[in-house]
């Protein structure tokens, strides 16, 4: 079980040729604002109607049952995630967002690898996430990471949209 913020300056193992400094850190308001603004301008958050202020507030809120983390690339906020660590025998990745300027360099893949490592360390057998049904690029990304669709949740966020529950079954070490 994650009992406190799970990282403090964890370096992601990036295969990026530029050898950038990529760190995973506990979120702070200075990073939540540009991340919230950036996410609000892209799908799925744009289509679902989440504005910059709402996302910034969500990313800034820390709780005992949820961790908000930022990924910095050379000190620039590039991606974020929120995790509920103890959900159905594993963590629930509530949100994973990579800003457009940082997409395609492997951040999402490394974040999932880190999360799987955390789950294995805590002897959990699953990693969960939810993706909007319309968000085909995200669903394909998760499929490539080994996630499988295990549930269809109509009208979870919006009446005219459905969400897909995804599960990555893992083996504890």
DSSP calls for the chain: ---S-S-SSEEP----TT---EEEEE--HHHHHHHHHHHHTSTTHHHHT--HHHHHHHHH--BTTBEEEEEEETTEEEEEEEEESSSSSS-EEEEEEE-GGGTTSSHHHHHHHHHHHHHHHTT--EEEEEEETT-HHHHHHHHHTT-EEEEEEETSSSTT-EEEEEEEE----
pLDDT (0 to 100) of residue 18: 53
The CATH number given to whatever domain includes residue 54 is 3.40.630.30
Is 1 contained in some domain?
no
Is 14 contained in some domain?
yes
pLDDT tens, N- to C-terminus, the chain (173 residues): 233 344 444 445 544 435 578 889 999 999 999 999 999 999 888 888 899 999 999 999 877 788 999 999 988 999 999 999 888 889 999 999 999 999 999 999 999 999 999 999 888 999 999 998 888 999 999 999 999 999 887 877 767 888 899 999 998 65
pTM, two decimal places:
0.83
Is 5 contained in some domain?
no
Domain of residue 112 covers 10-169
Whole-angstrom distance, CA of residue 165 vs CA of residue 170 = 16
The structural domain count of the chain equals: 1
Is 4 contained in some domain?
no
pLDDT (0 to 100) of residue 19: 58
pLDDT (0 to 100) of residue 13: 52
């Amino acid at each position: 079980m994650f009992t406190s913020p799970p990282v403090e300056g964890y370096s992601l193992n990036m295969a990026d040729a530029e050898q950038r400094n990529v760190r995973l850190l506990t979120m702070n308001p200075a990073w939540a604002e540009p991340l919230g603004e950036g996410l609000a301008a892209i799908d799925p958050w744009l289509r679902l109607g989440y504005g910059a202020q709402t996302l910034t507030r969500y990313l800034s809120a820390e709780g005992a049952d949820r961790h908000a983390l930022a990924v910095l690339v050379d000190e620039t906020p590039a991606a974020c995630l929120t995790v509920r660590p103890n959900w159905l025998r594993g963590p629930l990745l509530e949100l994973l967002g990579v800003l457009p300027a940082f997409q395609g360099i492997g951040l999402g893949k490394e974040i999932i690898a880190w999360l799987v490592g955390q789950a294995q360390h805590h002897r959990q057998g699953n990693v969960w996430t939810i993706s909007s049904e319309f968000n085909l690029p995200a669903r394909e990304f998760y499929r490539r990471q080994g996630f499988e669709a295990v549930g269809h949740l109509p009208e979870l966020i919006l009446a005219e949209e459905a969400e897909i529950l995804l599960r990555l079954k893992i083996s504890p070490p």
